[in-house]
Amino acid sequence: MKLILTREVENLGLAGDIVDVADGYGRNYLVPRGSAIGWSKGAEKQITQIKRARDAREIRGVDHAREIKAQLEGLKLTLKARAGDGGKLFGSVTQADVVGAVKSAGGPLIDKKRVHLPGHIKATGQHTVTIELLTDVVATVPLEVAAQ
């Protein structure tokens, strides 16, 4: 079965790659989870859009990673969330929330898989978030969670 990956799949490929997998793996795992779409001539046009988005988030080397780290550590991230009287959040802060806060603070585009939270953030206040750009380049960013 020929598929186009819509996101990175470990040991298979990156977003935008055309892969050939077993029918059951594609039909029962990749497609229902949104990791791939069926290959066709029309769907092949979407590959350019997927690859353009991937290139925007991709880190092109150690120097580029250090440059992004400097940008991230220079940011002051503030995240507004719904909270109760005692400062306890209704829900918790996710990696996607942190990516949105980086984007709204004027930071670079990052992949949410690179964001590591210190456990579950379920209260307002100051927190520290790490963003692993490469295995040896890690940015530590302060995050302030405030009530809406």
Please give the tally of structural domains in the chain. Answer: 2
Are residues 139 and 110 part of one domain? yes
Looking at the fold, whether 98 and 136 belong to one and the same domain comes out as yes
Q: What is the pLDDT at residue 56?
A: 64
CATH number at residue 108: 3.10.430.100
Whether residue 77 is found in the same domain as residue 10 = no
Nearest 5°: phi and psi at 57? -95, -15
- Residue where one domain finishes, among candidates 11, 41, 57: 57
Q: What is the pLDDT of residue 49?
A: 76
Q: Looking at the predicted structure, is the pLDDT value of residue 142 above 90?
A: yes
Task: Print burial letters for 115-124: b (CB count within 10 Å at least 16), e (below 16).
Answer: bebeeebebb
Give the structural domain span for 31.
2-57
Query: E strands along the chain, which residues?
Result: 2-5, 18-20, 36-38, 77-81, 88-93, 115-116, 121-123, 125-134, 137-147
Q: Half-sphere exposure (CA, 13 Å, Cβ side) for 91?
A: 8
Which CATH number characterizes residue 46's domain?
A: 3.40.5.10
In angstroms, the CA 114 to CA 65 distance is 12
Q: Give the tens place of pLDDT for each residue, 73-119.
A: 888 899 999 999 888 999 999 999 999 999 999 888 888 888 999 88
Do residues 106 and 129 both lie within one domain?
yes
In terms of domains, do 116 and 80 share one?
A: yes
| pLDDT per residue as tens digits for the range 49-79 | 777 777 666 677 788 888 888 988 888 899 9
Distance CA(110)–CA(120), nearest Å, equals: 20
